[in-house]
Amino acid sequence: MKKVDTPKGKTEFRFCVEINEAYNRISRSVYTDEAGEYYLVVSEEYHIGSAYDYVNEYYALDKSEAEYFEKIAAERERREKEETLEHERIAREDRERMLTSGGDRYFYKKKRNDTVWWSKKGEHSFSFDKETVFDLMKDYPDKLTPEQKEIFDKENPYWAKKLQKMK
């Protein structure tokens, strides 16, 4: 792969190999020109004051290099799609569990792996065993055991921080 001047004529985008979204955005994409030649185009967008400017560098590719980059891009796209579907599935299951709470009429969990059960009856009520119900505003942290407080703080950092500031 060798660096070349900007191709003459029109180039056509084929696929994106990589995007690095840092302070300066760098992307690597494969293009073809009218003659069917492949190019790896490395684009860098960088800050200039309150605006952006960019620089493109062109590298000539032979057919095997272009196929190699295409495999990388296809694998990345497949992996991203699988990750997106998995995140959507987990979020959907968590929403269903939160709404239906696995058929439990009185308690639900905010996340699948949580130990803390939140009560549907009272605002800010929770339990660890569905028998002893604590009121978040009155009972935290005095009526919790050290183990329960540690679990609650780990699973609910927002409430732990807020209540510590209040007390």
> Does position 101 have pLDDT exceeding 60, yes or no?
no
The whole-model pTM stands at 0.47
DSSP 124: T
Domain coverage including residue 21: 2-97
**Nearest-angstrom CA–CA distance, 2 and 21:** 25
> Does position 15 have pLDDT exceeding 90, yes or no?
no
Residue 152 identity = F
**Average pLDDT over every residue of 11-29:** 84
**CB under 8 Å, gap of 24 or more: what pairs does 90-97 form?**
none
Residues 146 and 67 in one domain: no
> How far apart, in Å, are the Cα atoms of 43 and each of 3, 4, 53, 60?
13, 14, 10, 15
Share of the chain above pLDDT 70, in %: 93
Q: How confident is the model at residue 21 (pLDDT cuts 50, 70, 90)?
A: confident
71 within 8 A of 19, measured Cβ to Cβ: no
Name the domain boundary from 71, 97, 123: 97
Per the listing, tokens 């967008």 go with 45
**Average pLDDT over every residue of 49-61:** 84
Residues 64 and 146 in one domain: no
Name the domain boundary from 46, 64, 97: 97
**Average pLDDT over every residue of 29-50:** 86
Residue 118 identity = W
